[in-house]
Each structure stands twice: as structure tokens, then as C-alpha cells.
């Protein structure tokens, strides 16, 4: 069984060059290294749908400190979800609020999130942490192991092999911890080597919180309260190991350990150490929803071999961009961010349910998938030679077509309507979410990227229903404005720039451009499938209003054209740049107007109030398509709010930072500790800047031609 991140689909043919990229050297020069306790630099091993994030000890010994002061260390999957009891029988309709539609109808949307029903429906189901592995050291004073006890740390994540090695001293005695994840199962392998193990004074503890604190939406801490509200049943395992059967509400999962366990509390267990005289404690811990699969896996050595094989293959067979011959001081910063973002995407964004915005590092929005983020999370896979990683994400969309059809029908729409903030079942979450619409065309764009890489009848058949039914809803969401002779979009809607009144918002710039482009692509799919063009779609595309502008610059939306006259309208996402950047432009996009708009965003946007990690790459894409590579590189790598990357490659979001009321005085917790849409957007932008787009004749169009850049690229695909 291949690891999720190694599902490549059709890998594009590499261009033969005289000096091919030395892939191992390219990857290895960017191994993350920690030589101090850095709460912002935990490191992760994983396989795409399961991940284990470790602190400086190679385990999760200091989990509370890392959560309190930086980035959490957790064990997460995309298959484990919990749901609280619902004695009140809350239903989504309980949160409906009436909105007047553009055609005069009144329709209820579930936007009342602050009600008891709204709170329950937002929190449930939510992603559940699987367990915590930590070192226990017998200190002379009897106190718990703390960051101050970690002496002379030297921790390296070998990206080429997917192996984390952590070396440090405790009380002057060396300790080495090796951590690895099985590419083919949700299993962690650990080897602890130290004289402290031989003396019986260093152990590993496996503990289970009740879950996350459900009162905290983003980056919640573990909930260790109410031990009677969940169960951890110890059972004998195969081959001398043990199994813990976990029950949280109606959710059951199993944890298989290759060594015996000793109960150390209602929800805590000590992994039995070898007999006296052994300096090494080696074990595997496997997590599974299926009891029949809850068997301790292969040895740690076998996992190390499997991980090295899988990761070496990953780096050798997917795309690469090497800047090592450059003299520009930004070149290695760009290359390092590419390598680390590729790794993070591979270990965190290929699960059974598409990712949450914090991947598999911690929970945000209760672990829910935000479907408007799937482009940033997954489009880059098709550009970097990982088609099947994108297909893994789209397999969930295909499976949820019946639910999407029901949602469309409930709104009086044809086709399949995609919920915005959702758990595994595509059920909407109350709030502004149901009014967001720019998530709707994404499946068409992503399926088109796959078709461009593999234009076969089989691929058309696989994604036919997804593309065509998504397009039916796109057309159905438009309304005919007889007075103007055009189709309008909204109200109500919440546009990409989430600061405008959804009850009155109409004809947003990016959404209109996206409707035009996606319906055009859907027509091409009909023709490829041997079907006639849908005349109502052609009529809609031909009668969409022009993109709104004022004083020679595009504005966010037609109904609120105050983007450049009111400072309060110049924060959050500058969506007016996206029609030429994320999209390829077209007859509806004037390049001169877009260039003036880009200049205005660069000069006048309120970056400090709020900007997001994917905005910087998005702006860079527009700059590249406008033939401004210097601007593209500068904005992509700008050290600005929410664009500061941590040593592990993550990009926290400062604009939503806040104090944690449960933390001790003086501590700080970022509300959004890591933000994977930033990494995915970055990879998409680099692909466009290096490989270009359809019709582009300039080599590496987003890289300056000033003599300081040397670019070698293998395997990248262009954008539309």
C-alpha cells in the first residue's frame, strides 16, 4: 500500500537536461534543525492523512508549553471525529435567518451561529486528538520534566527519509529519540536510547485527553477534565503488545502498542521498558478506527526502511525547482520555503476528509473543512507532479455529491451545491458560511487541472458528474436582471473579501470572473464528453455584467464600489486582483485596469488590520501575469503580517492572535498557530512564476531577469 503523499497519478515527463537537479542535495540542505527549545518549531512526521508532531524531545513531552507559547504538538488524523450528545435535537433549520433574494423571494439560510443550536452545530462533529506520547524522567526533586531540563539539544528532521532524530541531555546523560511514521498505516515508530532507560528512570507515557476544549474554536488545548466522560480500556494485544480501546461518546478507536502497557491512571499508561541492562526502548503505536486493524505493526527498523523508501521516491519522482546557482540573497529563502511547504503539504493535506486550515497540526474551526480553501490546499498537487494527491481530495467531493444535490435542492437550485464549513458529511455549519459562494467553482477548476495532465476518456468519466452538476448550480445561482439585460450574482452572498454586508452584496469582481471562466470550462467538458453545449450556460456567460471598477481600478464588488475611497474597505482579501492571477483573465479583464489595481493594492491596502497568508502568493500571481517578476518575488517573500514563516515551514496568522484566558499570565497563544492555505498558495504561485501559463512564451516569467537568479526546474506544469 502506497503512502497517501506518494499517490502520484500521472507524473509529467521531466525535461532532459545536461545537469539534472541533485534531488538529495536539494532536499537535504533544508533539513529543519533545532538546537534550542523553540516553541514555534515543533516537527512533524506523517503520511498525508495522519500526523504526529513532536517537541524538542522527539515526542510530546512538553505539549502544554508548546501549546501555550507557540505551535501545539498533537497526534491527529482525518478519520477520527466526535459528536456531543444532542438531547435538544438541534437541526440546521433551527439556525435559519430569512434573507431577501435578488428575485424577490425570501429564503432562510442557517446563519445564526450564536444561538444554542448554532453553537452545537458548529462544534459538531469535530476532529479528535488521538493521544499524547511523552517522556517521563525521574528527577531528584520529583518535579515533572520541563523545558529547562533539556540540555544541549540537537534535533534534525531528515526530509529525505522522513525521520526525526532528537538528541539532548537530561541531568548530563545523553538521550536519543528517533521518531518515524509508517507511510502505509497510521503508526508511529519510536526508539529511545539512554543510560536513563537502563537505570529504569526514563519511560514513555501514553495518555488520552477527553478531546479538545470544545469552547475554543481555534487552536484549543487538550481537555483533561471529566475523566468519567470517556473510556480507555486496556486489552492484551498480539505478539506481546497491548491495545487500548478508546470510547468518546459514540466514537470508538483503537491504539495498538507493540510493547506491554501498565495502567498509570484512568487514561494513562506506561510503556513497559526492557529488563534491566537494556539501554534502548523501541516500540510502535498504531491508531485505527477498525478493531481488526488494531495490531502492533512492523518493527521500528522496518518503519525506518519503509519511510526512507517512500520519501526518497517522493522527492525523486515529483517536481523540483533548484535555485542553488543564484547570487540573489532571496533565492535560498525561496527554495527553502518550497521544500518545506512540499513536505508539509505531503504529510498533512491528503486525508480521508479534505484538510482543515491547520492541517494535521492542531484544530481550527473544530477541524472542519472549508471548501473555499480546497483550491489553495490542493491545486498545487497537479502542478508539482502529484495528481493522485489531488484526486484523493476530490474523491471526498465525488462521494458527497448526493449531499450536495440535497443542499442545492433545499435552496431551489439544480445540480450540486457545496457547503462551505463542513465535517465529513458535508453538513453546513451555521454562521456566514452558507452565504459564501466562491467555493462553488473549485471542483471544476481542480478537475480541469487533472484533465490537462491526463486527457483521457477515463478521467472525463470519473469527474463528469462532479463538473457538470457543479456547473448546473453555478448557472442556477445567477438571476436575470431584466432592467439591465444581464445576469446578476447575489444578494445574499458573502464575497471573498469578508467585510461587506451579505444582505446587500451583489456582483463581486472575482466571483463574476470565476463564474464566467468555470462555466466556459464546463462547456468544454460537455464537448469532450460528446454532449451538446448547454445553451443556458452560454447565454449566462454572454450576459454577465462587466467587472466593477471606479477611477480606472477594479473594486471588490459592484454594490459597494468604495474600495479606493474608503480605507475601511481596504483590508482582508484583495479579491479584485484574482481574475488575473488565480484565473487567466479573458475578455472581461483589462490589463491596464488590473495593473493600476495592483499598484493601488501595493500602495494603499491596510495590511495591518487584516491580511491572510494566501493573499501574498495570490498577489504575486497577478504580478507575474502582468509581467512584473520583481514585484512578484518581493510580495511573495515579504516579511509582512501573516507572511512570516517559522523554522518548520509553517505560517501562523498574527492578525487573529489573542490572549488565551486559560493560560498563565504573560503567556501567549496564536489563535491560528499554523495555516496551510499559505503553504499551498505559495506552491501554486511558485509553479506559475517558474513554469508560466498557457500562451506564456517567457521562460520563468515570475523570476527577475537581472542576472542574480539561476533557475533549474523539473516536472512543473503550467497553469491555465
Q: How many CA atoms lie within 13 A of 55 on its CB side?
A: 28
CATH number of 31-88+124-305: 2.70.98
Q: What grid cell was written down for 96?
A: 435559519
What is the average per-residue pLDDT within 640-662?
A: 78
pLDDT surpassing 60 at residue 6: no
The per-residue pLDDT for 276 is: 66
Paired residues of 154 in beta bridges: 167
- Radius of gyration of the chain from Cα atoms? 26
Cβ atoms within 10 Å, residue 568: 9
The per-residue pLDDT for 16 is: 35
| Percent above pLDDT 90 for the chain | 91
Please report which helix (H) or strand (E) contains residue 53, including its range: strand 50-54
pLDDT surpassing 90 at residue 294: no
Which residue, 418, 371, 398, 513, is CA-closest to 463?
398
pLDDT surpassing 90 at residue 627: yes
pLDDT surpassing 80 at residue 99: yes
Least confident interval from 60-74, 168-182, 283-297: 283-297
* CB-based contact 498:370 (threshold 8 Å): no
pLDDT surpassing 60 at residue 664: no
Model confidence pLDDT, tens digit, residues 335-371: 999 999 999 999 999 999 999 999 999 999 999 999 9
Which residue, 77, 122, 124, 76, is CA-closest to 95?
122
- Helix 457-476 × helix 509-528 angle, to 10°: 140
Distance CA 423, CA 506 (A): 29
CATH number of 331-714: 1.50.10.10
The per-residue pLDDT for 485 is: 97
How does residue 17 score in pLDDT terms, banded at 50, 70 and 90?
very low
The per-residue pLDDT for 669 is: 57
* CB-based contact 12:317 (threshold 8 Å): no
How does residue 621 score in pLDDT terms, banded at 50, 70 and 90?
very high
Mean of the per-residue pLDDT values for the chain?
A: 94
Can the peptide bond before residue 188 be classed as cis, meaning omega within 30 degrees of 0? no
Residue 104: Cβ-neighbour burial (10 angstroms; 0-12, 13-18, 19+): exposed
What does DSSP say about strands 242-248 and 251-257: parallel, antiparallel, or unpaired? Answer: antiparallel
Distance CA 495, CA 511 (A): 8
Distances (CA, A) of 120 to 81, 88, 94, 128, 213: 15, 10, 11, 16, 14
The per-residue pLDDT for 671 is: 85
The per-residue pLDDT for 708 is: 98
Model confidence pLDDT, tens digit, residues 503-550: 999 999 999 999 999 999 999 999 999 999 999 999 999 999 999 999
Q: What is the pTM of this model?
A: 0.95
CA 445 to chain centre: 18
pLDDT surpassing 50 at residue 658: no
Cβ atoms within 10 Å, residue 664: 7
The per-residue pLDDT for 662 is: 52
Distance CA 177, CA 188 (A): 13
* CB-based contact 679:345 (threshold 8 Å): yes
How does residue 18 score in pLDDT terms, banded at 50, 70 and 90?
very low
* CB-based contact 92:428 (threshold 8 Å): yes
* CB-based contact 470:440 (threshold 8 Å): yes
Burial 623-648 (b: 16+ CB within 10 A, else e): bbbbebbebbbbbbbeeebbbebbeb
The per-residue pLDDT for 166 is: 98
Q: What grid cell was written down for 432?
A: 456566514
3 state SS of 707: coil
Cβ atoms within 10 Å, residue 214: 17
Domain ranges in the chain are 31-88+124-305, 331-714
The per-residue pLDDT for 291 is: 80
Which residue, 490, 492, 477, 473, is CA-closest to 404?
473
Distances (CA, A) of 229 to 221, 224, 267, 335, 609: 17, 10, 11, 48, 41
Model confidence pLDDT, tens digit, residues 539-587: 999 999 999 999 999 999 999 999 999 999 999 999 999 999 999 999 9
Residue 465: Cβ-neighbour burial (10 angstroms; 0-12, 13-18, 19+): middle
Burial 40-58 (b: 16+ CB within 10 A, else e): bbbbbbbbbbbbbbbbbbb
* CB-based contact 318:385 (threshold 8 Å): yes
In terms of C-beta distances under 8 Å and separation of at least 24 residues, what long-range contacts does 25-30 make, across chains too? Answer: 25/324, 26/315, 26/320, 26/322, 26/324, 26/335, 26/339, 27/159, 27/160, 27/315, 27/339, 28/158, 28/159, 28/160, 29/324, 30/159, 30/335, 30/336, 30/339, 30/340
* CB-based contact 555:509 (threshold 8 Å): yes
Three-state SS string over 651-666 comes to CCEHHHCECCCCCCCC
pLDDT surpassing 90 at residue 280: yes
Residue 718: Cβ-neighbour burial (10 angstroms; 0-12, 13-18, 19+): middle
* CB-based contact 515:474 (threshold 8 Å): yes
What is the average per-residue pLDDT within 147-175?
A: 98
| Percent above pLDDT 70 for the chain | 95
Please report which helix (H) or strand (E) contains residue 597, including its range: helix 591-604
Model confidence pLDDT, tens digit, residues 392-440: 999 999 999 999 999 999 999 999 999 999 999 999 999 988 999 999 9
Amino acid at each position: 500500500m502506497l503512502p497517501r503523499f506518494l499517490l502520484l497519478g500521472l507524473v509529467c515527463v521531466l525535461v532532459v537536461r545536461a545537469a539534472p537537479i541533485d534531488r538529495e542535495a536539494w532536499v537535504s540542505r533544508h533539513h529543519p534543525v533545532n538546537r534550542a527549545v523553540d516553541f514555534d518549531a515543533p516537527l512533524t512526521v506523517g503520511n498525508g492523512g495522519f500526523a504526529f508532531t513532536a517537541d524538542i524531545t522527539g515526542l510530546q513531552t512538553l505539549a502544554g508549553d508548546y501549546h501555550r507559547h507557540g505551535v501545539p504538538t498533537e497526534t491527529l488524523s482525518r478519520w477520527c471525529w466526535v459528536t456531543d450528545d444532542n438531547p435538544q435535537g438541534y437541526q440546521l433549520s433551527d439556525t435559519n435567518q430569512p434573507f431577501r433574494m435578488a428575485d424577490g423571494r425570501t429564503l432562510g439560510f442557517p446563519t445564526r451561529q450564536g444561538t444554542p443550536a448554532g453553537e452545537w452545530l458548529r462544534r459538531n462533529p469535530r476532529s479528535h486528538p488521538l493521544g499524547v506520547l511523552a517522556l517521563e524522567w525521574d528527577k531528584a526533586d520529583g518535579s515533572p520534566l520541563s523545558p529547562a531540563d533539556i540540555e544541549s539539544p540537537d534535533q534534525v528532521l531528515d526530509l529525505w527519509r522522513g525521520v526525526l532524530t532528537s538528541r539532548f541531555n537530561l541531568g548530563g546523560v545523553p538521550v536519543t529519540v528517533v521518531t518515524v511514521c509508517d507511510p502505509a498505516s497510521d503508526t508511529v515508530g519510536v526508539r529511545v536510547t539512554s543510560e536513563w532507560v537502563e537505570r529504569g528512570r526514563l519511560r514513555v507515557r501514553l495518555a488520552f485527553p477527553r478531546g479538545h476544549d470544545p469552547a475554543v474554536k481555534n487552536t484549543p488545548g487538550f481537555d483533561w477534565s471529566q475523566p468519567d466522560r470517556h473510556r480507555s480500556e486496556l486489552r492484551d494485544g498480539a505478539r506481546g503488545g497491548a491495545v487500548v480501546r478508546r470510547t468518546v461518546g459514540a466514537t470508538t478507536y483503537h491504539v495498538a502498542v507493540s510493547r506491554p502497557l501498565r495502567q498509570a491512571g484512568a487514561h494513562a499508561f506506561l510503556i513497559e521498558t526492557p529488563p534491566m541492562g537494556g539501554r534502548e526502548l523501541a516500540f510502535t503505536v498504531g491508531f485505527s478506527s477498525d478493531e481488526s486493524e488494531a495490531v502492533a505493526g512492523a518493527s521500528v527498523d522496518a518503519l525506518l526502511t519503509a519511510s526512507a523508501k517512500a520519501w526518497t521516491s517522493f522527492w525523486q519522482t515529483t517536481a523540483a525547482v533548484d535555485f542553488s546557482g543564484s547570487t540573489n540573497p532571496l533565492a535560498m529563502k525561496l527554495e527553502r520555503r518550497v521544500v518545506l511547504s512540499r513536505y508539509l503539504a505531503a504529510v498533512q493535506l491528503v486525508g480521508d476528509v479534505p484538510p482543515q486550515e491547520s492541517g494535521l497540526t492542531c484544530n481550527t474551526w473544530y477541524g472542519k473543512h472549508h471548501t473555499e480553501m480546497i483550491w489553495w490546499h490542493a491545486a498545487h498537487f497537479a502542478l508539482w507532479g502529484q495528481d493522485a494527491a489531488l484526486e484523493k481530495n476530490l474523491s471526498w467531493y465525488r462521494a458527497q455529491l448526493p449531499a450536495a444535490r440535497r443542499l442545492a435542492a433545499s435552496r431551489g437550485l439544480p445540480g450540486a451545491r457545496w457547503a462551505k464549513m463542513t465535517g465529513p458529511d458535508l453538513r453546513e455549519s451555521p454562521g456566514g458560511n452558507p452565504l459564501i459562494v466562491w467555493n462553488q467553482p473549485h471542483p471544476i477548476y481542480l478537475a480541469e487541472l487533472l484533465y490537462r495532465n491526463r486527457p483521457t476518456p477515463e478521467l472525463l468519466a470519473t469527474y463528469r458528474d462532479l463538473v457538470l452538476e457543479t456547473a448546473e448550480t453555478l448557472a442556477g445561482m445567477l438571476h436575470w436582471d431584466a432592467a439591465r439585460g444581464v445576469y446578476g450574482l447575489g444578494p445574499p452572498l458573502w464575497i471573498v473579501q469578508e467585510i461587506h454586508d451579505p444582505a446587500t452584496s451583489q456582483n463581486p469582481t472575482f466571483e463574476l470572473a470565476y463564474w464566467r471562466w468555470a462555466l466556459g470550462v464546463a462547456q468544454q467538458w460537455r464537448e469532450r464528453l460528446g454532449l451538446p453545449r448547454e445553451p443556458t450556460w452560454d447565454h449566462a456567460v454572454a450576459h454577465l455584467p462587466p467587472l466593477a471598477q471606479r477611477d480606472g481600478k477594479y473594486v471588490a464588488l459592484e454594490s459597494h464600489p468604495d474600495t479606493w475611497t474608503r480605507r475601511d474597505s481596504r483590508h482582508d482579501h484583495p479579491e479584485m486582483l484574482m481574475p488575473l492571477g488565480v484565473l487567466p483573465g479573458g475578455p472581461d479583464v483589462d490589463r491596464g485596469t488590473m495593473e493600476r489595481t495592483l499598484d493601488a493594492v501595493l500602495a494603499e491596502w491596510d495590511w495591518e488590520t487584516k491580511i491572510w497568508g494566501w493573499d501574498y502568493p495570490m498577489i504575486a500571481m497577478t504580478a507575474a501575469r502582468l509581467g512584473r517578476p520583481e514585484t512578484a518575488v518581493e510580495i511573495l517573500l515579504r516579511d509582512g503580517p501573516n507572511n512570516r514563516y517559522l523554522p518548520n515551514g509553517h505560517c501562523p496568522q498574527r492578525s487573529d492572535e489573542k490572549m488565551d484566558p486559560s493560560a498563565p499570565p504573560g503567556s501567549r497563544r496564536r489563535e491560528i498557530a499554523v495555516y496551510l492555505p499559505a503553504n499551498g498558495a505559495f506552491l501554486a504561485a511558485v509553479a506559475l512564476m517558474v513554469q508560466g501559463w498557457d500562451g506564456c512564451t517567457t521562460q520563468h516569467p515570475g523570476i527577475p531577469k537581472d542576472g542574480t537568479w539561476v533557475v533549474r526546474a523539473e516536472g512543473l506544469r503550467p497553469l491555465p
